[in-house]
Structure 1
Amino acid sequence: MSGVRLSRRGVIAGAAAFCALATDSRATRRLRIGVTLHPYYSYVANIVGDRAEVVPLIPVGFNPHAYEPRGEDIKRLGTLDVVVLNGIGHDDFAERMIRASENPNVPVIEANRDVPLLAAVGQMAQSRGKTISGKVVNSHTFLSITGSITQVQTIARELGRIDPDNAEFFTKNARAYAQRLRKIRAAALAQISEAPSASFRVATIHGAYDYLLREFGLEVTAVVEPAHGVEPSPAQLAKTIEQIKALDVKVIFSELNFPSAYVDTIRRETGVRLYPLSHIIYGAYAPEKFEIEMAENFATVVRAIREEGGATQSASPEAAR
């Protein structure tokens, strides 16, 4: 009988150990966090570090403007613990994916919940924007340091509620990341001694850069694209050129990878210089991608302002001596 009792004690002890192990496994399992766009991958990766896994919903090589959910992508969504969304028109496909997945009630973090939104203009207002509080909004808040910092803070706070054991860690990382982003903006603005004058008019090929240009005090005079990624007809191109001339535009901010024939024709016919900006939607997902490409965007805007006479260069420490 003593052998039987010992066996039972062993079974009980083993069961207790298994339960403890399972509980520990659940406690230490990393969150799987879905993201829709490259900037959000960078935001979340910098917030969570090695304490969660960041999972892109769109594979590398797909453009979110034209993305149609695939079966394997919807299946992957069913394995996620939470999804971070732009939520204001740039990733509406994700809402369809969530509804079609095995996990339709997955928690969703609306990153733009606390971001002041600009109205959409041009083709975006007609075809792609989302109506919020009675206006069609510009969804490209991630192309701004100010808007990005607000989103990072929102994401960190909400992830902390879902994973309270790591809430302090997430908050600390979000603050450090926000500080690095502020330095990008400060370094760029320090190169310009004063804000561009009201006569310094700029246009954009794509309606994505209003938030970015507002960081420099610039208002977009015109958006000249016919539709995102679509090369204009000859009639549309002629109308665009007339509009640029009539508005006395000093600089046009183009988009990297935009059809070169279109850009070259505008430059030749108007004499206005075009400066390319990154939309941050191409290439591999990486934690550092947003910082790198936003720093390049800010440097491009500074160069445009200085080269086209929008403002004078800030004096260097050496010149001031």
Structure 2
Amino acid sequence: MPRHSTFRSRWPVILLMLVALAACGGAPGSPGPSGGDEGRIQVVTTSSVFADMARNVGGDRVAVTSLVPKGLDIHTYQVTPADLRAVATADLFVMNGLGLDDWLEKTIRSAGNRAPILKLAVDLPGVVLLPGDTPDTQNPHLWMDVSNGIAYATRIATALEAADPTAAADIAASADAYAKRLSDLDAWVRDRIATIPEADRRFVLFHDALPYFARAYGLTIVGVAVEAPGQDPSAGEIAALIDRIKATGVKAIFSEAQFPTALVDQIARETGARVVANLYDDTLGDDPVTSYEALIRWDVDQLVGALR
């Protein structure tokens, strides 16, 4: 089944609800900061990770809504009626792009909102994109390299300043402080990864969510269990991955907290590798994984603990 077939099947219902919103006065107006929420810039993001970035950059000048609740899979998210009013009244949309959350664009077009759409990962200066899970696509998980997270924050700041020039000084100050924290975080990640013996800096993933992280911090991804969430591997693909794990001496298989573990548990039984199924990347979680910074720290601690 195509990844977004369930979303397409629900689209007529969503269109009817958009009409109902317009009849109730919820249709979008012209771009620019709305008068509600004490005049703050109304920002709608796809992911709770990007919502946290926007709050840190915008501070008191923004009101931020994440469409995808924490703990849910952004790849296969289905827009709900509760999302539609936020989409209709947003001043700025923040998404990743590169196929991760392109469902947002269809929602915005149908809502008729003309507010700017910021695609954080598209044409990010200085970044060489890595291949995605199908031909002619790119892996979208750039923010897992903290240096790219800093670039995301810079883009968000520029978009917010354009949305409300009167808030530019406050936004610039918040963005500078946030960038400094992220720079310190990047250095911390490098120090922690350096404690893993070089021969053990390899692992297997449930799906390919950490290639930019691995490239930035000197790790090797030996393989993935699924090419993309919702796409089950063949028996031959599983057997080939088991052979690679045995041949390379991989110690651990990592998966995100929102995904089932049956497949990686099966592979672990065949190889003796340890399963660590509590990573985060596309979504925040419960305490202590309540911010982008905390997400990075949590994942690094899990990786180091399993590989060292």
TM-score under structure 2 normalisation? 0.76
In the TM superposition, residue 61 of structure 1 has moved relative to its aligned partner by 6.1
Contact 2:192 2:300 (C-alpha < 8 Å) held by counterparts: no
Partner of 1:64: 74
The answer to whether 1:120 aligns with 2:121 is no
Q: 1:39 aligns to what SS in structure 2?
A: helix
- 1:37-76 equivalences under 5 Å are 37-59=47-69, 62-76=72-86
Identity of aligned residues (%): 32
CA 1:190–1:119 in structure 2 vs 1: closer, same or farther (change >3 Å)?
A: closer
In the TM superposition, residue 265 of structure 1 has moved relative to its aligned partner by 2.0
The answer to whether 1:180 aligns with 2:181 is yes
The answer to whether 1:304 aligns with 2:306 is yes
Contact 1:35 1:85 (C-alpha < 8 Å) held by counterparts: yes
Letter in 2 for 1:137: Q
Q: Which structure's CA Rg is the greater one?
A: 1
Contact 1:280 1:293 (C-alpha < 8 Å) held by counterparts: no
CA 1:182–1:275 in structure 2 vs 1: closer, same or farther (change >3 Å)?
A: farther
- 1:1-321 equivalences under 5 Å are 29-59=39-69, 62-103=72-113, 105-112=114-121, 113-115=123-125, 116-121=127-132, 124-125=133-134, 135-191=136-192, 193=194, 197=198, 200-229=201-230, 232=233, 234-276=235-277, 277-281=279-283, 283=285, 288-306=290-308
Aligned length: 270
Q: 2:130 aligns to what SS in structure 1?
A: coil
Q: Deviations over 1:134-165 (max 9, x none)?
A: x5211011222111111001110221122111
CA 1:107–1:220 in structure 2 vs 1: closer, same or farther (change >3 Å)?
A: same
Q: Deviations over 1:3-31 (max 9, x none)?
A: xxxxxxxxxxxxxxxxxxxxxx69x7211
Letter in 2 for 1:45: R
TM-score under structure 1 normalisation? 0.73
In the TM superposition, residue 37 of structure 1 has moved relative to its aligned partner by 0.6
Letter in 1 for 2:129: L
Partner Cα distance (1:154, 1:51) in 2: 16
Contact 1:117 1:141 (C-alpha < 8 Å) held by counterparts: no
In the TM superposition, residue 41 of structure 1 has moved relative to its aligned partner by 0.5
Partner Cα distance (2:70, 2:184) in 1: 29
Partner Cα distance (1:287, 1:191) in 2: 18
Partner of 1:5: none
Stretch moving more, 212-221 or 285-294: 285-294
Q: Deviations over 1:173-193 (max 9, x none)?
A: 112112222323323432455
Question: What RMSD in Å do the two structures reach over aligned CA positions?
Answer: 3.0
Stretch moving more, 65-74 or 29-38: 65-74
Letter in 2 for 1:294: I
Partner of 1:319: none
Structure 1 unmatched runs, 5+: 1-24, 127-134, 307-321
CA 1:148–1:297 in structure 2 vs 1: closer, same or farther (change >3 Å)?
A: same
